[in-house]
Structure formats: structure tokens, C-alpha cells
Amino acid sequence: MTIFGIELVPATPLEGLVSYATLAEGSGVDSIWVTDHFSNRNVYVTLAVIALKTHHLRLGVTVANPYLIHPAVTAQAIASVAEIAPGRVVIGIGSGDETTLTKLGVERKKALVAIREAVSLIRGLLEGHRVAMKGEFFEVDGAMLDFRVDPIQIYVTGQSPKILELGGEIGSGVLTQGTDRADVDCAMRHVRIGCDKGHRARRDLKVVFEAPVSISADVDEAIRRAIPVVSYIVAGLNPLLAEKYGISMETLSKTRRALLAGRYDKLAELLEPEIVDRLAICGTPEACTDRLSNIIKGGIDEFIFGPPLGPDPGRAIEILSTEVIPALREA
């Protein structure tokens, strides 16, 4: 049975994030995921505060990357959160947001190698091993955490076929994005290829889909609210994915330049409503439920409702909990 989560961006003050998380928990949502960007509040501090104020929500990171923070520090941080919320914590490891990392002069190179090494190092430390590794990115000799935690699932995150296959091969799960059944079917195909490489069964790992969701009776307003989130997705697409979604390289380049320059006022001019609607699930509760139903039927294990959620995130969580999720559970 599919479970449902909500993704929060810690651009909101911690008090507000805790309010959203407790509202979600009281309404039957299964998980809360928090984004990891240097420009927002620290993801692990945010998760720790939410962990102290909730009781059964699963808590996840979307997503840590191996370029900005050393995987040993990532292991230490997520293990510390898990001590507060035993058995409730998971973490996604991916290549990170290109636009955000570019602002720091960080190059995302050899993502498959970097993610594979990071997962191996983090997993070894979380399992209590003394880790020795001599890789292309990381070299450690006898690294070990001085405290033990319950097992923590590590999800490989991304959209490209090779990343999905890597997740199927080595991940506790795969976390990817998609807004329709075709996205699910494509992702599942590559996950299964990875499972075969790792001599694993599909049932041995979780497949999680995330998409920006914007719920409002005013469809135009729902689309408008989703533009900032979609712009970062567009800016991070590789040429293959841009072609898949029908986005020109000119649009991709202009969107990336606008974000790097902080020209958020230009985004609505660059991203037509059709692009936003393709990369986000926008509209009335009924329309969103119809689109999400096809995704759920693809056999995914969890769906994450990503930001902006709607013009009023708190109200959107209530609508998701009382109208959308119950309908999807019955579908």
C-alpha cells in the first residue's frame, strides 16, 4: 500500500515548519521530508526540532549531496537526529541542486561515482563499522562513529536512468520525481535494471516519487504559485530530460541565468503555464487527485507532496489530508 509524505522547505521559520508537521501528523500523513539547501535553515536542525514535537512521522532528508558536506559529517548528522527519533529517520543522497551548488563554486562531477562512494561510506558508519576507503572522491582510514543508532535507510535520489539504476543496485530505496504514469513506468524500468545488477528483488527496496503540488480552486493561482519551484527543476535538467519534457535548451539556459542572478521576477515570462503544469501537479483537489491516481497505480511505495502545496500551505495540508489522500487510498 502506498504511503504519503509532505516535503517542507526550511525557508519558513522553524515554528511554522513544526506547526505544519504536527498538523500533518494529526491528519494522518505518514512522513515529513525536509529539503537541504545552504540558503535555508539547516536541514538536520530542522528535523531535530520536528522530531521532538512529533511521535510517529517518518522523517527524511531531500536530499544530501556528496559535494558540499563530507559523507562522514552527513552520517554523524542524520545519526544524531535518529537518536531523537529512533526508527523514524531516512535520508536521500543525490548529486544536489545544480543552481544552488553553482552559487558556491561547487562542481557536480562524476555523480554516479560520488553517490556510490557516499552511500557506501555513510552506510558503513551508520552500521557501526570502522570504515576504510580509497575512492576517487573520498579516502578514509579507520573512520568510525562513537555512538550507535538504529538502522537508517539510505535512498539514492535523481531522475536520470543511470542514477535510477544505481538506486536499484545499492539503495535502500530510490527517490525520484514525476507527474504522470509514464514517468513512473520509465523509472520502474530502470530501477529493475539496477535490481538485476545488484542481484536483488524489486520488493527489497522502496520506490518514492515526489512532485511539486499546488492545490487551489483558482487554477491560474495554483500554477503561478508553482513557478518558483518548477524553475529550479528546469534549471537542473540535463539535455536528455529537457527534451523529454519538451523544454528548449534556450528556456533552460535563460531560467538558469535568471536564478543565478536572483531575477525571480523573470521566471513567469520564461516558463509557460504548460511547462509548469507538466512539471507540477496544479489545480483543484479533484484534478490533482485524478493525476495522482495514475501515479499511485504505477506501483510506487510512497508519494511525497512537494512545495508549494498551495497558496496557503496549512490549508493545503488539510485538503490533502481530508480529501486527496483518502481518495487515493481508496483508488
pLDDT digits (tens, 9 = 90+) for 235-246: 888 888 888 888
Nearest to 36 by CA among 1, 73, 84: 73
Distance of CA 18 to the CA centre of its chain: 19
At 76, list the grid cell.
554523524
Residue 100: pLDDT band (50, 70, 90) is confident
Residue 175: pLDDT band (50, 70, 90) is very high
Provide mean pLDDT across the span 23-51: 96
* pLDDT for res 229: 92
Task: Tell me the whole-structure pTM to 2 decimals.
Answer: 0.94
* pLDDT for res 134: 96
State yes or no: pLDDT of 319 exceeds 80: yes
Sign of dihedral through CA atoms 151, 9, 42, 99?
positive
Residue 148: pLDDT band (50, 70, 90) is confident
Residue 212, classed as helix, strand or coil, is strand
* pLDDT for res 312: 93
Q: What is the mean pLDDT of the chain?
A: 94
Nearest to 8 by CA among 46, 26, 34, 38: 34
Per DSSP, what are the bridge partners of residue 60?
A: 33, 90
At 215, list the grid cell.
492545490
Provide mean pLDDT across the span 198-205: 96
Was domain 3-217+284-330 assigned CATH 3.20.20.30? yes
Most confident of 100-114, 116-130, 232-246, 259-273: 116-130
Distance of CA 243 to the CA centre of its chain: 22
State yes or no: pLDDT of 103 exceeds 90: no
* pLDDT for res 32: 98
* pLDDT for res 237: 86
Provide mean pLDDT across the span 112-135: 97
- E strands in the chain: 3-8, 31-35, 58-64, 89-93, 131-134, 139-143, 153-157, 173-177, 206-215, 281-283, 302-309
Based on the number of CB atoms within 10 Å of its own CB, is 89 exposed (0-12), middle (13-18) or buried (19 or more)?
buried
Provide mean pLDDT across the span 164-174: 98
Q: Where are the domains of the chain?
A: 3-217+284-330, 220-279
Provide mean pLDDT across the span 154-179: 96
State yes or no: pLDDT of 286 exceeds 90: yes
Q: What is the β-pairing status of strands 131-134 and 139-143? A: antiparallel
Q: What is the DSSP letter of 71?
A: H
In the numeric block, the cell 522530531 is attached to: 51
* pLDDT for res 174: 98
* pLDDT for res 98: 83
